[in-house]
Amino acid sequence: MSTTIASATATCTIPAGTPTPEDVAVAICDFVANHEDVELPIELEDLDSDEFVHEIVPYLSIANGTELTISYDTEDDKAYSSSVFDFLVDHFKTLQTSDVMEVQWSVYDSKNGQSTGADYYRRNGTKVDVVADSAALDRIASLLSGKEWDCDTLLQVAEIIRESGREVADVN
């Protein structure tokens, strides 16, 4: 059985001030140049800065100045690489300003045909368990529904949120 990634799209929010894919690509290039520990996909290893930017721009699009989409589509005429896509997704997992990055994917395997799905990642790169998030929201809804809220309620909601893997900072 062989499996082929047909397409994938990752979406997240990034800091304002990077209005074009070229600006984002230049920022990634600068980051890589200043961090020797970054492992590049083989397709990007021996490129100069202009070639590097030219190579990754087709993967990037930005809406509203902050909504970044990283795309990989084998149906397109462009020469996409899944390792470059993965590199870009990993790079932005830690830079995103949104709480969660959504990665939608579609694969084709010779046994089962086409299948699709989505994965979700927090800023620290850990995968989000959507079922656990749904359970946390259900617990919060049950806690708040038809009841008066007080400080104890707020503390319980914060604890449920922390249990879901998110940080809720206490007031100093």
At 123-145, the pLDDT tens digits run 777 777 766 677 888 889 999 99
Q: Is the pLDDT of residue 3 over 70?
A: no
Q: Is the pLDDT of residue 74 over 60?
A: no
Orientation of helix 82-93 relative to helix 21-34, angle to 10° = 80
- Minimum mean pLDDT among 36-40, 48-52, 79-83: which range? 79-83
d(CA 152, CA 115): 45
- Averaged pLDDT, 87-116: 75
Q: Specify which residues 13 forms β-bridges with.
A: 67
- Is pTM beyond 0.95? Reply is no
SS3 content of the chain, % helix, strand, coil (to 5): 40, 25, 35
More confident call, 49 vs 119: 49
Residue 50 has pLDDT above 90, yes or no: yes
